[in-house]
Amino acid sequence: MNAKQIAADYAVESVKDGMTVGIGTGSTSAFAIEALGRKVQQGLFIKAVASSIRSEEAATNVGIKLIPFSEVETIDIYIDGADEVDKDLHLIKGGGGALLREKILAFNSKEFLVIVDSSKLVEHLGKFLLPVEIIPFAMELTLKQLQKLGCTTKVRQDGKEPYITDNSNLIIDCDFKRIEQVDQIHQSINAIPGVVENGLFTKNIVSKIIVGYESGEVKVIEK
Ligand code: 5RP
């Protein structure tokens, strides 16, 4: 069995009739979208708001009713993957370039369920490069400020061109090697003018980590 699908299917069981659901981005979230789509086809009524244009399209294709951010009143549950989860339940997200909308959804949700396979569980964050979304016109200055925090920086590419986010910004992948002071790095990055948001999701916005295993088992890690 696919461990990502096991986690996604388990999380989707928490979605109830009438809820507004935040929909994530990435290969694990794709399983959640499929599972939600099956439930909707069986009669579940939900409204959903998606963290990326590609997840919007995937959700529409399986019959999920989407609303724009401007119409969201409350988000009951947000289900999304992660690139790394540390022992304190801090996350790195943004491997798929959708971290800004993802953080807005996580911050505004009553419950944020993180769905992963066990390969995402790490002792310390930082092996996965930390994505930071920045405004394009001040890129050079913003890169210098990021480097002052102790990382090397790479402008994410899409073929030969810079990768452009759904919000018309750039993604900088930052190599800190190991991130121990998660709150401090999070705050320092976001204090740089030109940075829109970074991919550190601190434990205060996480509700549960749902870990799927190929055996079909699920482990739920709560704060
Ligand atoms: C997208 C994300 C994803 O949740 C993260 O990259 C995990 O992806 P996958 O489920 O494909 O392993 O943050 O911006």
Give the tens place of pLDDT for each residue, 81-108.
999 999 999 999 999 999 999 999 999 9
**Which residue CA neighbors atom 6 of ligand 1 most closely?**
95
Q: CA of 203: how far to CAs of 28, 147, 148, 157, in Å?
A: 20, 25, 25, 29
CA 100 to chain centre: 8
Pocket test for ligand 1, best of 91, 93, 101 (most atoms within 8 A of CB): 93
Q: Ligand 1: residues within 6 Å at CB?
A: 24-29, 80-83, 93-99, 102
Q: In whole numbers, what is the pLDDT of the chain averaged over residues?
A: 98
CA of 158 to the centre of ligand 1 (A): 17
Q: How confident is the model at residue 223 (pLDDT cuts 50, 70, 90)?
A: confident
Asked if pLDDT for residue 182 goes beyond 90, the answer is yes
Which element (helix H / strand E) includes 77?
A: strand 75-80
Asked if pLDDT for residue 1 goes beyond 90, the answer is no
**Which residue CA neighbors atom 4 of ligand 1 most closely?**
81
- Name the percent of the chain lying above pLDDT 70: 100
Tell me the catalytic residues: 102
pLDDT for 34-72, tens place per residue?
999 999 999 999 999 999 999 999 999 999 999 999 999
Question: Which neighbouring-strand residues pair with 47?
Answer: 20
- Specify whether the CB–CB gap between 202 and 89 falls below 8 A: no
Q: What is the pTM of this model?
A: 0.97
**Which residue CA neighbors atom 1 of ligand 1 most closely?**
96
Asked if pLDDT for residue 22 goes beyond 90, the answer is yes
